[in-house]
Structures are given as structure tokens and as C-alpha cells.
Amino acid sequence: MSVILNKGQLSEVLPLLERVVPSRSANPLYTHLGLSLSPKGLVLFGSNGEVDLEVRLEAEVQDEGRFLVPAQPFFQLVRSLPGEVVELSLGRELELASGAFRTRLALAPEEGYPELLFPEPGSPSEAYPLLAPLGAEDLLKAFTHVRYAASNEEYRAIFRGVQLEFSEARLRAVASDGYRLALYDLERPQPFAKKAVVPARSVDEIVRVLKGLDPGDVELALGPATLGLVVPFAGGVLRMAVKLMEGEFPDYERVIPKEFPLRATLEVEPFREALKRVSVLADRQNHRVDLLFQEGKVLLSAEGDYGKGQEELPVALEGSPLAVAYNARYLLEALSPLSGQAVLYLSGAASPSLVRPLEGEGYQAVVVPLRV
Amino acid sequence: MSVILNKGQLSEVLPLLERVVPSRSANPLYTHLGLSLSPKGLVLFGSNGEVDLEVRLEAEVQDEGRFLVPAQPFFQLVRSLPGEVVELSLGRELELASGAFRTRLALAPEEGYPELLFPEPGSPSEAYPLLAPLGAEDLLKAFTHVRYAASNEEYRAIFRGVQLEFSEARLRAVASDGYRLALYDLERPQPFAKKAVVPARSVDEIVRVLKGLDPGDVELALGPATLGLVVPFAGGVLRMAVKLMEGEFPDYERVIPKEFPLRATLEVEPFREALKRVSVLADRQNHRVDLLFQEGKVLLSAEGDYGKGQEELPVALEGSPLAVAYNARYLLEALSPLSGQAVLYLSGAASPSLVRPLEGEGYQAVVVPLRV
């Protein structure tokens, strides 16, 4: 049986599969790309055991069949094919023809390849009883605003994920490493109440898929231990299934201060640049930068082995003058999703500060000052 | 004493110094950047023990003095300064001011920093008795055409360098790893006859300097164990000194065949692309691709664990049909400096082949076929 495809169709989605399918694995079947042909079209699928991904492409196919091809040469070849059209013929081998180029790739037997379970768009299933439709742009924002705050440490493994909180009032994404915290609220009522922690690396794959395909609306699907995602795009439908982490975040709301003796409104870009410059002089361990807020200005200063540096910037202050010190990296990361104007809410030199955009709610970052 | 500079002046040359000055070194003085002030201008200098580099910038300076500043923070700071103008004040510390930013960097004592010896433009010296003026573009071409063929292996260390051969007839650059060879002849009479082997990594630094500054004419200077280079550019003069390797290449001329039963003229770009595609299927160890030349065509084919692939391309043939096999990587690298049309000179299935551009002499690459 055979299928004819435009190279463009394949090259849009193969990079997404290439990121998931491992080039080496304890189970060599995982290093294969699945091709499933049916009158409905061509389905490409792959998995690394954590993230499953499949893409259905529209194509004219006569027969039905399921095949596993060695993924690495397939990806490499399709990237560099001479013709605009690719013909795939599947039987005992995969024959791939394009322009003057012909190849035959050995197929792997299907036995032992895990069953991949994806959500059905619009219909709850046993594997995915809960469905939540969502704008792709919204989901992307929620993930990219908080991703940086997830932990890289083995210690307290739950913090290596991003927690999604579905509730009647909203969808919230939150990440923390125990020292700082970022959350993004999407003020849209959700059809169910549930918390689910997605491993940060799987969040990265979801972000890449959403950026790579530029879809309109997507569907999140929640199963007992799996987050599913349906992503329609111009040339077909992509579906993902990612393993969830066990457990949930400890109660973090209580560390977010509610009262702030000082509020500083600042331009993000020049503040970020000044912070970067001054932090070059900071000690290598704490990256400590001191901030002195008074009289419509903030004086940033740092001192380390190389010497000292300082810079002054105008800020709009409401409240009493304050001296406070931060790990410059944490403060820079808290500002990283922002542009335009931001507000720094200071609750004191020894208690958490809050970073928010001046306009547009949704994002909040908690940064704990360094002890002075 | 102080000097005022445009940020642009510094940012053009600092990346070149940044590549040379190490961020860590057994001798911590090497992690410093030298600043030398005199009425003639500002000189910045640095070294990693293999490559010495200095840049003289035009600037108004009153006093004289020589200072060592910690290089890493200096590079980082200058990259991100807020103002267009930088003021450097040197005394017991370096004070750097730009816009609202101020910093003081600790200086290192000068004792123990090695003396850097550079050639004087136009005048031979004890350290550099031999001078050869040259177009920067020519030197760049000579180095970049052959650099890929230098060895990365410890074995036969001399092949980890590029040999420059100055002679009455020409300047030649040649590199080899014992299995293949690349040479580039610059047909310009040289003022002396001498061979010098430049470490490949120092060649890379010279190439970066020439590409980074886009100068017109340069001067090569040869000392007993050092290659010097003077590079005038719009904002000043850059000088380099690189340690030469001891010894010279064994006689390689005798491995270059003189007679060829087959000559194949081909379009480099499509041939290279086909070679890359077909080599995806090649065995991982030898990267073997078979080439069958006959009847105005070449059939490329490869076979390995994944399967087999083949592609046919038109070529203009002069001579008798031939089957020959290469390590695809070696053949691709031999073609890498070329575009347009190239000629493959074949001396047989078991003896070296030659790659040359169809037009414009200068470049020759020797590739030894794989045993069939």
C-alpha cells in the first residue's frame, strides 16, 4: 500500500515528532516512528514513555496497515529530499521515493510497542473522563509565564512539575522551586475542579507543539494519571498524552503576602538591563543586588570579588522608602515574562515581594528577598 | 588618567579579545585584559599562552600607564552599557562610567604578566625577521579552504596544524590528517622561502579576526617560533602573535596522483545534497557510499543497518567507466569549500582521487577511496 504526500505536510510535523522519539532507548522500539495508514489518512506516532504524540495528516490512502520505521534515518531523509512530493510504499519494507532518490528502510515488528491512548475530540472516554476546551494562545501563555520557576532539583520532586488547577472560577498554572513561585490565572470557568501536575519537560514539549503549529482552539483532557491534548491545525490533527506526576503542591497561597507598605511601578526593559549590568559585579554565590527605593528612584548596587557597581533609575513609588536585597537571577526570572510596565509590591526587607504586570492581570511572581 | 570611547569602538574588537582571553587559567593573570594608555591611544591586549592579541584604538589620552583588569566582568559590562559613550578612569582601580551606570573594578598587579612581542608593521625585527604583505581576503581563503583537513588526533601531532609554505613562486596552505589532504595555492611571489606550521586552533582565531574586522591588506611576520600578523582596520590596528608548531609535514607531494583515467565534471550543490541523502543509509563506521560512473551519470548508493538508498545524477564524463567507494564524510568535506562546478579526477578504485574547482585554480583536495 502506498501514500503520496507533499514534503511540506511532513516537514511541518516531523520536527515535533523528532523531539519526542528518542534516538536511543532501553526499549529499541521507542526509537521507531509509527506509520498507520487507513482510508482516513496517514497517522504518524511516537513516544518516549513520558510523552506520546500522534499526528493525523489528510492523505489519500487505499489500504490499512500499521508499521514501525527507524525514526532517525526517516527524519534525516525527509528533511533533505530532492522532490516536492514523497511517495511512501509500505509492505515488507518501507520504500521512499522522491525525485531521483529511492530508499528502502527495514521495518520493525509491531509486537511490544506500547498502546498509545489519546483523547477523542469532544467525547469523554474511560481514559479521559474530563474535557476542557481552551484557546491555544491561552494555554501557551499560562505555561510560558510560569515554566521558569519549576525546580531542577531532585529534592521535593513535585516541584519539578507545573501544577494545573482547574476550578469553577478559572484555570491556573503554578510553578515553584520552594524559594520562589510563579502563577498565571486564566479567568475562564472550567467544566470541572481538579489539580494535575505536569512534568516541566513535558510542558516544554506541549509549548513546542503549540508554537510549532499555531492552532486556534485546543482541548485538554484529564485522565487518572494522564493529561491529553487535542490540537487541530491546518493540515490535520495532533494529539498528545503526557504522564502526570503523583501528588500535588503544598498549600502555597499562605506564603503570598497580602499587604504591602511599598509599591514601585517601573519600566521593565531598562530595569532588567540595569539589573543585569549591576549583577555582573555581584558575588557569584548569591548574585546579591541591593535595591534602595526612595524619592522616586531606585538605586541598584552590587559588590563582589571584582569590585562594585551601581545604577539609578526613576520609579513611581507609593509608600515608605525601603532597602531590600534579592538574588538578581530570581528577580530577573520573575520579570522575564513581562514587558512594558510592571509593579513590584514590597512587603518588607525580610518578607516576600510580588511582581505583577501593571496592566492585564493573570501573572504573579513571588520572590523572597535575601537576608541582609 | 582617563579615556573616553564610543561603545561601538569597543564592541567591534572586544569579542575578538574575549575569544582569546581565557575565563580560567592556571596563571590567573591570563584571565585579565590589559589596558595600556599613552598619547598614541588606548591599547587592549590579552593572551592565552598560545595566541597573543592586541588592539590599538584611536583615542585621546593624556597620561601613560598599563593596567590589568578582570576580563570577564569587563567584557560583560561593556556589552550591556546603557550609554553610547564609555569613560574609563584608571588609577588604583578602574572606574567605568556610562549613562547612569558606575562601576569600580579591582586591578591586578602587573608583575608576572608575560611580555607580548608583536611585529612592527613594515619593519623587520629580531623577533620577526621575515615580513610578507598579503591581502586579507587571500589569507582568509587559503586558511578556510584547507582547515577542515587538519587532524584532531594526538597521533602525529604535526597534522594538527596548517602548514604555510612561503616560496618564490607562491604561498601555499596545506592540511592533512594522513588520510586526506587539502591544499590552497596563492600564486603570488613571496619575499622569502620558509615553512611554518600553525596550530589549527590558532588558525581558527586568525580566521575570526579577519572575518570580524574586514581589513584590506595585512602583514604576515615570521619569527623563529612565532607567526605574527598585523591587521589594520578602520578604527585602529590589531596585532597577533601565535606560537608555531615544531617540525614540518612529511613529503606529501608524492601521494598526489598525476594521471587520471577518468574525469567527472559535476554541479557541486546537487551532488553534495545527493551524497548527504544517500549517506544517511550508509554504515555508521565507514560512512561508505558507492559511486558508479558510466554513460554521463553517476549512481550513488549506500547500504547499512537501516536499509539501502540510491540516487542518480547527470555528470560530464571523460574517460572509462569506474566504480569507486568513499567515506561520504571525507568526500563531503573535500567539496565543502566549493560551489558551482567541480571536477573529480579519478585515478582508480584503489588510488587517490582529486577534487578541484572547474574554474579558478588554487584549491586541491586528495581523497583516498575505501577498499572495495
Given a cut of 90, whether residue A128 has pLDDT beyond it is yes
Given a cut of 90, whether residue A179 has pLDDT beyond it is no
Q: How far apart are CA B210 and CA B200, in angstroms?
A: 15
Write the pLDDT tens digit of every residue in B43-55: 999 999 999 999 9
A52 within 8 A of A118, measured Cβ to Cβ: yes
Given a cut of 80, whether residue A108 has pLDDT beyond it is yes
Given a cut of 90, whether residue A226 has pLDDT beyond it is yes
Nearest CA-CA distance, residue A197 and chain B, Å: 38
Region of A72 (left: φ > 0; alpha: ψ -120 to 50; beta: rest) is: alpha
What is the DSSP code (8-state) at residue A245?
B
Helix (H) or strand (E) holding A107: none
Given a cut of 80, whether residue A372 has pLDDT beyond it is no
pLDDT of residue B22: 96
What angle, 0 to 180 degrees and rounded to 10, lies between the N-to-C axes of helices A200-213 and A136-146? 140
- The rounded percent of chain A whose pLDDT value lies above 90 is 87
Write the pLDDT tens digit of every residue in B235-270: 899 999 999 999 999 999 998 999 999 999 999 999
Which among B70, B276, B281 has the least Cβ separation from residue A103?
B281
Mean pLDDT of chain B: 95
Write the pLDDT tens digit of every residue in A344-369: 999 999 999 999 999 987 999 999 99
pLDDT interval class at A24 (50, 70, 90): very high
Write the pLDDT tens digit of every residue in B65-89: 999 999 999 999 999 999 899 999 9
B30 within 8 A of B21, measured Cβ to Cβ: yes
pLDDT of residue A235: 85
Residue whose C-alpha cell is 549591576: A278
Interface test with B, best of A277, A283, A284, A298 (most B CBs within 10 A): A277
Given a cut of 80, whether residue A99 has pLDDT beyond it is yes
Which among A101, A274, A309 has the least Cβ separation from residue B309?
A101
pLDDT of residue A192: 97
pLDDT of residue A214: 84
Q: How far apart are CA A366 and CA A356, in angstroms?
A: 9
Residues in B touching A73 (Cβ below 8 Å): 280-281, 306-307
Q: Helices H, strands E: what count in chain A?
A: 6, 25
pLDDT interval class at A238 (50, 70, 90): very high
pTM score, whole prediction:
0.90
What is the DSSP code (8-state) at residue A144?
H
* Range with the poorest average pLDDT among A55-64, A252-261, A290-299, B255-264: A55-64
B191 within 8 A of B169, measured Cβ to Cβ: no
What are the respective helix, strand and coil percentages of chain A, to the nearest 5?
A: 20, 45, 35
pLDDT of residue B235: 85
Would you tell me how many other CB atoms lie within 10 Å of the CB of residue A181? 25
Residues in A touching B81 (Cβ below 8 Å): 277
Q: How far apart are CA A72 and CA A78, in angstroms?
A: 10
Give me the mean pLDDT over the B156-177 stretch: 96
Question: How many contacts, defined by CB atoms under 8 Å, are there between A and B?
Answer: 100
Given a cut of 90, whether residue A183 has pLDDT beyond it is yes
Q: How far apart are CA B289 and CA A345, in angstroms?
A: 65
Residue whose C-alpha cell is 557510499: B289
Which residues of A fall below an 8 Å CB-CB distance to B? 70, 73, 76-77, 80-82, 93-94, 99-106, 270, 273-274, 276-278, 280-281, 305-313
3-state secondary structure of A292: strand
Residues in B touching A23 (Cβ below 8 Å): none
Residues in A touching B101 (Cβ below 8 Å): 274, 277-278, 309-311
Give me the mean pLDDT over the A37-50 stretch: 93
What radius of gyration, in Å, describes the C-alpha atoms of chain A?
A: 25
pLDDT of residue A323: 97
